[in-house]
A and B are shown apart, each in its own frame.
Chain A
Amino acid sequence: MNYQEALTRYQHKINSVSSEEMVLNLGPQHPSTHGVLRLELITDGEIVKEVIPHLGYLHRCFEKHAEALNYAQIIPYTDRMDYLASMNNNHAFVMGVERMLGIENDIPKRVEYIRVLVCELNRIASHLIAVGTYGIDIGAFTPFLWCFRDREHIMNMLEWASGARMLYNYIWVGGLFYDVPVGFEERCQEFVAYFKPKMKELNELLTDNQIFISRTANVGILPLDVAINYGCSGPMLRGSGLKYDLRRVDEYSVYPELDFEIPYAKGEIGTVGDCWNRYKVRIDEIAESLKIIEQCTEKLTKEHKRTPDFDPRAKAPKKIVPKAQDFYIRSENPKGEIGFYFIADGKSDKPFRVKARGPSFSNLSVIPEISKGVMIADLVAIIGSIDIVLGEVDR
């Protein structure tokens, strides 16, 4: 059998474009591709006829690494997948291992609340990057600076808790690296109080900006059925009008005890499923995350207060050897459904196989479908609205 048949077909297609068409490479060094993504465009003048994405410039083969390391050692590698939302990756991975060990109900409540607190902080940081860089993609420079200014506060807080700015390795199987530092909860409350008016400013500057709306509304419309069929998740799916969030569907960790809404696109401006609606879902999610943070800090200072003898590593197993089984864990990352599929052989402390399902990977796969026949400038708007992180696409 000829396994190279598709490659020959692709090469033939690129070599035989007609004289009025042009093959154009967008990336891998183009800033609007948000990393090292290369999009090969077949264009007719300003119109994009076809998009062929090329990935893998950042491929490290996380899955091969994972097979050679024990479970605790893999956690830092999950940090490097979606490096803008490392806490959420840690959380998903750790939850999966805990369920395989059957210790998920032994985790102290305080640990769970701290996990949710840092995850939601990280979600805000990730969405701030998405919003800020989206602004700069289509020519709004100021929101980028504002978003990075506010994100810096979150980075400093998470650095205070974990010792690292971006790649935390903070959530451990059975517990945490350390308890949060003294005064962390209060600082979170201060941050919420500081950040709320800033979000209002940002909305005035960008969300309701007529130029921004003209660039994003009714551009790159992703119908709901296409979104589901392409495995889109997270703000992509909610931006297409479906109220679906794994934090509510799977009710993992302490999310059932928290009061928050799931924002989804209603099409106030433009059409449901367009770039503006996807962007708006992220803005609304920031507000919901702030609500969660307020509730978590409330719980952490009252019900599940810090006690001198509290040890966040008390339930952490010394050696992690799950029974022979396979298990798929999914959870809601800022970008969508992050999943880990484990196969444990029951004998060793290293997994037999780990497959990571990155939300950006599936979200990106819809690009050739929704960008047929758009202008090149609109393609930039579409890529930005998907909010990909190449560290996770390529793994």
Chain B
Amino acid sequence: MIIDIVKEILIAKFGDEVIIAEERSHLQPALVIHPNFISDVCLTLRDHPETWFDFLSSLSGIDYGVEQKKFGVVYHLSSIIKNHQIVLKVMLENDRDENNLPVFKSVSTVWKTAEWHEREAFDLLGIYFENHPDLRRILLPDDWEGYPLRKDYKTAERYHQIKIDL
């Protein structure tokens, strides 16, 4: 299985601490990667001749709930040449303070498509990406306050004197 190959490659290159956990019970096996390594891991998996994960299908920011105090990013990688897929996850504890966003390393240097996906995660979930070339809000206006996809988000009453009706 591809997950074993990936695991072998990563442990050989970065050591044991790179993989925190693995999820094999689901339909799609996933590896939980240490947040410090994520951009290097992605670069390795993209360029390694056995994996060739040249296509980033999706990048999703996740808020794991108010009780969990945890944020994460899920990467869906696929290889066009080899026709296989893998899921990578990174997670960080965070106290949900808007002045202290969870910070992950950007993978936009590995796949350019991550640039907009990461902007979306920043915009809607307040996940900050280090070394991102242009981390502005993308879907919401630049002066929007708060991060709507967070589980504890409260809709503002007004936006520039416009009443927000629900």
By a beta-carbon cutoff of 8 Å, the part of chain A in contact with chain B is 1, 3, 5-7, 9-10, 55-56, 59, 61, 63-64, 99-100, 226, 228-231, 242, 244, 249, 325-328, 330, 337, 339, 341, 343, 352-353, 355, 357, 361-362, 365-366, 369, 394-395
Contact = CB atoms under 8 A, between A and B. Distances in A.
Nearest 8 A/B pairs, CB to CB: A231-B113, A355-B60, A56-B139, A357-B58, A365-B116, A59-B139, A6-B135, A325-B26
Contact of B80 (A56, A242, A395): A242
Interface secondary structure of B, over-half rule: loop
Nearest to B111: A229
A369 B112 contact: yes
Interface residues of B, number: 40
Contact of A326 (B26, B55, B111, B135): B26
B136 interface: yes
A325 B138 CA distance: 29
A365 B113 contact: yes
Nearest to B58: A357
Contacts, number: 100
Contacts of A341: 58, 60, 74, 76
B28 A229 contact: no
Interface stretch (B5-13, B32-40, B141-149, B157-165): B141-149
B101 interface: yes
Given A231-B112, A328-B76, 11 more contacts: A6-B132, A56-B138, A56-B141, A64-B148, A226-B112, A229-B113, A230-B111, A230-B112, A249-B83, A326-B28, A326-B30
Contacts of B128: 1, 3
Given A326-B26, A355-B60, A59 B140 contact: yes
A7 B136 contact: yes
Given A10-B136, A244-B80, A326 B142 contact: no
A142 to B, nearest CB: 36
26 contacts: A3-B128, A7-B142, A55-B138, A55-B139, A56-B141, A63-B149, A100-B27, A228-B80, A231-B56, A231-B57, A242-B80, A244-B80, A325-B26, A325-B27, A326-B26, A326-B30, A326-B74, A326-B87, A327-B26, A327-B28, A328-B57, A330-B57, A341-B76, A343-B62, A353-B62, A355-B60
Contact of B57 (A230, A326, A339): A339
A357 B27 contact: no
Contacts of B134: 6, 9-10
B136 A328 contact: no
B103 interface: yes
Contacts of A362: 113, 116
Contacts of A365: 112-113, 115-116
A266 to B, nearest CB: 19
B145 to A, nearest CB: 12
Contacts of B54: 228-229
Contact of A355 (B28, B58, B87): B58
Contacts of A327: 26-28
Contacts of A3: 101, 128, 135
Highest count of chain B CB atoms <10 Å: which of A99, A355, A361, A394? A355
A55 B120 CA distance: 11
B91 interface: no
B124 A63 contact: yes
A99 B28 CA distance: 11
A124 B163 CA distance: 41
A170 B27 CA distance: 27
Contacts of A230: 111-113
